[in-house]
Structure 1
Amino acid sequence: MARELTVAFIGNPNCGKTTLFNAYTGANLKVANWPGVTVERVEGTVKDHDLNIKLVDLPGTYSLTSYTMEEQVSRRFILSDEVDVIIDVVDASSLERNLYLTLQLLELGKPVVVALNMMDIIAKRGMEIDLHRLPEMLGVPVIPVSARKRTGLEVLIHAAAHHAGTEHRDPIIHEHEWHSRRRTGPAEKHERYVMVYDELMEFRIDAVSTALERKYPAIKNTRWHAIKLLEGDGAVTAQYPVDLPDILDRSYETDIINQKYDFIEEVMGEVLVHREEKAALTERVDQVLTHPVWGLPIFLGIMALVFFLTFTVGDFLKGFFELGVEWLTLAAADLLAGWGVGELLTALITDGIIAGVGGILTFLPNIFILFLALAFLEDTGYMARVAYIMDGIMGKMGLSGRAFLPMVLGFGCSVPAIMASRALENRRDRFKTMLVTPFMSCSARLPIYILFSGLFFDRYAMLAAYSMYLIGILVALLVAFVLHTLEKGKGIQTNDLLIELPEYKMPSARTVAVYVWEKVKDYLTKAGTVIFVASILLWFLLNFGPGGYTDLMEESFGAILGKAIVPFLAPAGLGFWPIAVALIAGISAKEVVVSSTAILFGVNNINSAAGMAAVAGGLSAMGFGPLNAYCVMVFCLLYVPCAATIGVIRRESGSWKWTAFSVAFQVATAWVVSFLIYQVGNLFLR
């Protein structure tokens, strides 16, 4: 009968852990949430000789300190009796950062196998890792693998199966300067433990371990629990309190962390060859890009360059898409006429579906350039610096720089950005971040900016669009500051940002291509589903009224609905019923604001010169000018996020009440900011 084995995959975010896990399991996955939290639990199964191996992909985590939900889930499962062996996936190109988690796992006393991933990147950088010395210093198997190339997989799973149930490691071969300086107490301690602390810390660990063994004889791995008590770990302190006021007189977490990194530095010096050159290059670049004064202006300049490319290159390419939509519209009209299709159905297909969906597709080149630039910046390692740069500003707003990471993700899509708030350390920070993250300009809003800035701002169109990204950041920070001010005096503390900046690297063409393709595919999928359905529904709303089919759009159900909310929108410069209808439709997906505008003005190709002239003429005839256009852009930036984002806010918060408050708050913020811009703008334009 086949034996059962449970293997847990754990590692830092972006270490290639999930890619490696998927290489084993393929499509044979089971996905659910961990009990009591929204963090996903992913399982798969493989067979190895007489073993049925259950693989569990744990959330990416930097440590087992148990601050964030991911860390709590990972630690809870690792500590449970369910796990037979741990596979610690280590990014070889960021070995120093990854080894901190490795040392924590080794202190658990459970079987650990290190999967050394991304060795090809190390080779490209001209460095080498001593694969003989590293396992000697860690005391566990170290298996080089490539998740991308699917090499080393059989050796890794065989090592995990062989290592399961191993209670005692071979003696650790330290024999290096760091441990020589700390050689205190019994010699066997240096042979049994990978991480040996200085004399005073080891004395404290021994004292706490003795107290734990005396009070809790059934406890497993007293050394790990003793270290956690010295760190002031809340969960361990609550579960295993001991009365040692002279030993546990303060938190020694910082001391323990520093000593771990001292040891890691020693490991790096012994196992990584040609490291100094790369570290020196990263340090020189960071002197400029993370400068306390120039770091933020450089970031804003880089984002300005991104949008310059988005407009110039994207506008050049979208001309080909415009020709395609025009050809499709004419071909569809001729084909339907040849088939004798009625005027109503022909109008639905050409003026509804093609005008709505086709108009959105013409913005695809701009979206492509935006995602290409963001993928490039992320894969170079620059985006981690952005959080570091923003840490001081975010701290004044009551959040750590870590909260800016979800906000940066919001430039791409609000859905994963909201989900990324899980990485924050407490519920208060997560909820504040979920509240302000939708103010970031996601890619779905870009077509709105391109359309209205192109219609009314001519050669200043790029600046008008870029200002939306700045306004989004400023409003998010201002809201966070107001909330922080209201919280003052309640004893709420803000945690400092702890982040290690990875070395700069040339982006991987494959990684960038996969990232861009996934985003483009999502955009196309949305065009073929949400926008397709929304375009049909809107066409019916604008062509049918209480009396049935009507040629007069002002008598349609859509016009009735739009006119009903015009009094609310008018003070904010949005008092036009077609704009009101477009804004309502945009709740389904922000791109629908553009497709709705195309349908409202009967334009088949809104992104063409003729289409934009027709829309501009129709809006101008209603008294709609540049100031109104800017207010539309601001309102679309700040008001209700798309339906998918609302759903994710509900799932992550676990509260319909909070979700409703979030939606109402965002609408109110959009109205107030648009109102101020419109009223102040009118003072200068009179």
Structure 2
Amino acid sequence: MIKIALAGNPNCGKTTLFNALTGSNQFVGNWPGVTVEKKEGKLKGHKDAVIMDLPGIYSLSPYTLEEVVARNYLINEKPDVILNIIDGTNIERNLYLSTQLMELGIPVIIAVNMMDIVKKSGDQIYIDRLSEKLGCEVVEISALKGEGIKEAADRAVWLAQQNKKTPAVHHFQSEVETILNRIEDKLGSQIPNEQKRFFAIKLLEKDDKIVTLMNVVPNVEDEIKEIEDMMDDDTESIITNERYLYISSIIDECCKKNSKGKLTVSDRIDHVVTNRFLALPIFALVMILVYVVSVTTVGGWATDWANDGVFGDGWHLFSIGTTDYENAVEEYDRAEQILVAFDEGEDVAQIMDEEENVTETVTLNDSVVSKANEIAEAGEPDPSEFGVWVPGIPGILESGLDALNCADWLKGLILDGIVAGVGAVLGFVPQMLVLFLFLAFLEACGYMARVAFIMDRIFRKFGLSGKSFIPMLIGTGCGVPGIMASRTIENDRDRKMTIMTTTFIPCSAKLPIIALISGALFHGAWWVAPSAYFVGIAAIICSGIMLKKTKMFAGDPAPFVMELPAYHMPTVSNVLRSMWERGWSFIKKAGTIILLSTIFVWFTSYFGWIDGQFRMLDAMELDHSILASIGNAIAWIFTPLGWGDWKSAVAAITGLVAKENVVGTFGILFGFSEVAENGTEIWTMLAASMTAAAAYSFLVFNLLCAPCFAAMGAIKREMNNAKWFWFAVGYQTVLAYAVALCVYQFATFFTTGAFGIGTMIALVITAGFLFLLCRPYKESQRLNVSSVMSSK
């Protein structure tokens, strides 16, 4: 089997190329022993070739875990060929990695990507001349348009079959080369000849991790001291400078920039979207639009269909017959109202929206009542009699279970437990797919890279690096990979703070909670969903300010360097693939963790003790259940937050297992897809149990509190310290409780004028927040004092 390693810088189009070359023949997992994603796929058209998609890296230096993983794979596994993809619009920066790859003694083929953009801008890259200077084969491709990618893959396979090493043809200054030759001689036979140059350079750079790959480590201190004294610089800087001098000589001979000096389309767009004053408002508008479309319009319509149709009573195919059915239901409801009014002696004319003083009222009443009786006797309209009616999953399962004479407890488990709980969660999948579609598009077109750049300017003022935004961006899909993405942050303080705050950003699991609160308790108000996103950002910024003023996190944030790829229109297949990967991971969780959780919630809510007897309860006896006993024991904790009833308290606690459980628990406790005796849908029954202030408090608490068990496990692994783990979880929970309390108390005060102990506590908490936010940095004070003392 031919092994091809796909290597390149972040945002160079590597993932697009990998998807195009492998299609659906991909295998995604984690590298052994680490949580860096591992992608492998079979090359289309070559059954005997496998592509390993290495993490996006800037160099083979051991600054990040991704770089260590990529380097160890290349040295230990020794793939047959390296397909190095570089961004043609930023060729100088990308060639830095290429010079290192060619020192490994592995055949290398370089694919210059985005050549369509290069040509469109009027620039020129002389491929043949570049190949000659680099000493390896170079091809031009456009991964996005699929141009040249098959030729590049075929050439890589051919090169692997030749089994010829690619020697490094570049050379540094003679003084540096002399020192490197001496170090190579010290390596002896333990390192293959084709890799000696790479190991010699790493030893000269004082790379402490390269020694773990060697049996015997030679002493090169004399060589390091000699070259540092000679060139008056540290060896790492010397090697970096030598590489760029070599790359500059190549660029001068092989590339020709457009001399007209016209701004590219990307430059013109960036003048607007990264503008100091317009960047944030534009970002806010984009996210508001994304959430409005995902939650309240297109996504909302699809979710209504899923909840009311697929996991509800059913739906009319292509909506044929829906209007007639709704008219029949309206007529039936009016007939019921007329009969009730007539029985109570009211004037039927008022029910019919007639004037009060019409003539022959009794005759009118008689005819109206007679017609109402006919409608009522005919019974409530059956939707299956209108158009083509497709029954929902609960109806189909109930009919099947009744036909099998299924036991009541098993029927309750399936319908009231599994279908009600898991169905309540899966009903929100359409909204999440629409959201993931938008986020995938924004990432693929290059805008999200600009957002990281924009947020760096803001985050840096509050003690965080722009690198912290990348994990938070990934965390919008799931908090677990978002937390793991913090490994790219070199500074330990910044990394710990990012781990603690990443889960404040709403992930896909929290979207059903947002949609539920927005739809059931705020009547689909457009502002609820976007506000949840900005509550998360506000929590991150405020946390950054407060934590940076403590001894644990004091210090300047790490510098942030990131390539901004040119804007481009992503392919439909890549966007859909990204959307589906995120959506499928959510669906799988619903089929495992949430399934088990809903079974537990169903059992504890439908079984309990009544009159000293343990038995199965009906829907009217839930207050005597095991779950009710647990809920009542902890409900008092949440009373200051406005939702001290046992059902809400239990829902919040089950959310610690998986955030989707919040909706699933409500679905079970309020009887998903059931209708109350007064004709009120169950989500309206939920709304009746909370005020608007309590509902938003409930939302804020679940957004900010400790994440699900899986994310907490990721925090524990990344912190690698029990004290730090409990500090992180405790901080998140306390912050969530304090903010939710303030939201409820102040909202209640402003809407009702009620002022009590809770309001006073909220004022004290707010004052504490303001003090922590506004107090000066102690380090700055010490610095100022020392400056004054020295001046005196």
Partner of 1:466: 530
Report the secondary structure of 1:500's partner residue.
coil
Q: CA deviation at 1:364?
A: 2.5
Q: Identify which of 651, 657, 670 aligns with 2:736.
A: 670
Counterparts of residues 289-368 of structure 1 (less than 5 Å): 289-310=273-294, 311-321=296-306, 322-324=308-310, 325-327=312-314, 328=392, 329-368=394-433
Partner of 1:496: 559
Is 2:56 the partner of 1:60? yes
Is 2:11 the partner of 1:10? no
Partner of 2:547: 483
Report the secondary structure of 1:494's partner residue.
coil
Partner of 1:549: 616
Q: CA deviation at 1:230?
A: 8.3
Counterparts of residues 432-581 of structure 1 (less than 5 Å): 432-458=497-523, 461-487=525-551, 492-546=555-609, 547-551=614-618, 552-581=621-650
Tell me if the contact between 2:12 and 2:85 (Cα under 8 Å) persists in the aligned partners.
Answer: yes
CA deviation string 1:111-158 (max 9, x = no partner): 533244676777898987543222123221124578896723332122
**Using the alignment, how far apart are the partners of 1:120 and 1:28 within structure 2?**
27
Q: 1:411 to 1:633 in 2, by over 3 A?
A: same
Listed as ranges, the gaps of 5+ residues in structure 1 are 170-191, 197-201
Partner of 2:382: none
Q: CA deviation at 1:274?
A: 7.1
Tell me if the contact between 2:489 and 2:495 (Cα under 8 Å) persists in the aligned partners.
Answer: yes
Tell me if the contact between 2:11 and 2:563 (Cα under 8 Å) persists in the aligned partners.
Answer: no
CA deviation string 1:166-217 (max 9, x = no partner): 54x6xxxxxxxxxxxxxxxxxxxxxx42x66xxxxx3763575477579878
**Using the alignment, how far apart are the partners of 1:548 and 1:75 within structure 2?**
62
Q: CA deviation at 1:67?
A: 1.1
Q: Identify which of 464, 473, 483 aligns with 1:418.
A: 483
- Which stretch has the larger CA shift, 371-380 or 139-148? 139-148
**Using the alignment, how far apart are the partners of 2:503 and 2:443 within structure 1?**
20
Q: 1:292 to 1:656 in 2, by over 3 A?
A: same
- Which stretch has the larger CA shift, 202-211 or 395-404? 202-211
Q: 1:618 to 1:136 in 2, by over 3 A?
A: closer
Tell me if the contact between 1:351 and 1:604 (Cα under 8 Å) persists in the aligned partners.
Answer: no
**Using the alignment, how far apart are the partners of 1:542 and 1:112 within structure 2?**
63
Q: 1:109 to 1:527 in 2, by over 3 A?
A: closer
Q: Identify which of 129, 140, 144 aligns with 1:133.
A: 129
Tell me if the contact between 2:29 and 2:38 (Cα under 8 Å) persists in the aligned partners.
Answer: yes
Counterparts of residues 597-636 of structure 1 (less than 5 Å): 597-604=666-673, 613-620=681-688, 622=689, 624-636=690-702
**Using the alignment, how far apart are the partners of 1:464 and 1:297 within structure 2?**
18
Partner AA of 1:350 in structure 2: L
Alignment length (residue pairs): 646
Q: 1:210 to 1:33 in 2, by over 3 A?
A: closer
**Using the alignment, how far apart are the partners of 2:455 and 2:160 within structure 1?**
41
Q: CA deviation at 1:500?
A: 1.4
- Which stretch has the larger CA shift, 153-162 or 461-470? 153-162
Tell me if the contact between 1:605 and 1:611 (Cα under 8 Å) persists in the aligned partners.
Answer: no
Q: CA deviation at 1:253?
A: 6.1
**Using the alignment, how far apart are the partners of 2:573 and 2:396 within structure 1?**
37
Q: 1:127 to 1:514 in 2, by over 3 A?
A: farther
**Using the alignment, how far apart are the partners of 1:212 and 1:423 within structure 2?**
31
**Using the alignment, how far apart are the partners of 1:501 and 1:409 within structure 2?**
17
Report the secondary structure of 1:243's partner residue.
helix
Counterparts of residues 578-597 of structure 1 (less than 5 Å): 578-597=647-666
Tell me if the contact between 1:96 and 1:268 (Cα under 8 Å) persists in the aligned partners.
Answer: no
Counterparts of residues 101-140 of structure 1 (less than 5 Å): 101-106=97-102, 111-116=107-112, 130-140=126-136
Partner of 2:345: none
Partner AA of 1:402 in structure 2: K
CA deviation string 1:208-228 (max 9, x = no partner): 547757987889888767876
Partner of 1:88: 84
**Using the alignment, how far apart are the partners of 1:365 and 1:600 within structure 2?**
23
- Which stretch has the larger CA shift, 138-147 or 469-478? 138-147
**Using the alignment, how far apart are the partners of 1:90 and 1:664 within structure 2?**
44
Q: CA deviation at 1:673?
A: 1.7
Q: CA deviation at 1:506?
A: 1.0
Tell me if the contact between 2:81 and 2:159 (Cα under 8 Å) persists in the aligned partners.
Answer: no
**Using the alignment, how far apart are the partners of 1:84 and 1:516 within structure 2?**
33
Tell me if the contact between 1:99 and 1:264 (Cα under 8 Å) persists in the aligned partners.
Answer: no
**Using the alignment, how far apart are the partners of 2:460 and 2:686 within structure 1?**
47
CA deviation string 1:506-562 (max 9, x = no partner): 121111111112222223333333333322221111110142212311110111111
- Which stretch has the larger CA shift, 209-218 or 516-525? 209-218
Report the secondary structure of 1:247's partner residue.
helix
- Which stretch has the larger CA shift, 663-672 or 535-544? 663-672
Partner of 2:779: none
Partner of 1:184: none
Q: 1:344 to 1:215 in 2, by over 3 A?
A: closer
Tell me if the contact between 1:21 and 1:57 (Cα under 8 Å) persists in the aligned partners.
Answer: yes
**Using the alignment, how far apart are the partners of 1:683 and 1:212 within structure 2?**
75
- Which stretch has the larger CA shift, 119-128 or 383-392? 119-128
Q: CA deviation at 1:164?
A: 3.2
Partner AA of 2:176 in structure 1: I
Report the secondary structure of 1:246's partner residue.
helix
- Which stretch has the larger CA shift, 25-34 or 593-602? 25-34
Tell me if the contact between 1:113 and 1:163 (Cα under 8 Å) persists in the aligned partners.
Answer: no
Listed as ranges, the gaps of 5+ residues in structure 2 are 212-216, 315-391, 755-792
Tell me if the contact between 2:80 and 2:163 (Cα under 8 Å) persists in the aligned partners.
Answer: no
**Using the alignment, how far apart are the partners of 2:232 and 2:539 within structure 1?**
44
Partner AA of 1:632 in structure 2: F
Q: 1:134 to 1:165 in 2, by over 3 A?
A: closer
Q: Identify which of 496, 505, 509 aligns with 1:431.
A: 496
**Using the alignment, how far apart are the partners of 1:644 and 1:488 within structure 2?**
26
**Using the alignment, how far apart are the partners of 1:365 and 1:30 within structure 2?**
24
Q: TM-score, normalised by structure 2?
A: 0.71
**Using the alignment, how far apart are the partners of 1:259 and 1:278 within structure 2?**
31
- The structure whose Rg is larger is 2
Q: 1:5 to 1:211 in 2, by over 3 A?
A: same
Q: 1:596 to 1:278 in 2, by over 3 A?
A: farther
**Using the alignment, how far apart are the partners of 1:526 and 1:285 within structure 2?**
39
Q: CA deviation at 1:447?
A: 1.5
Q: 1:79 to 1:540 in 2, by over 3 A?
A: closer
Identity %: 38
**Using the alignment, how far apart are the partners of 1:361 and 1:403 within structure 2?**
31
Q: CA deviation at 1:13?
A: 3.4
Q: 1:131 to 1:163 in 2, by over 3 A?
A: farther
Is 2:705 the partner of 1:639? yes
Tell me if the contact between 2:26 and 2:41 (Cα under 8 Å) persists in the aligned partners.
Answer: yes
- Which stretch has the larger CA shift, 550-559 or 524-533? 524-533
Q: Superposition RMSD on alpha carbons, in Å?
A: 4.2
- Which stretch has the larger CA shift, 221-230 or 282-291? 221-230
**Using the alignment, how far apart are the partners of 2:301 and 2:83 within structure 1?**
49
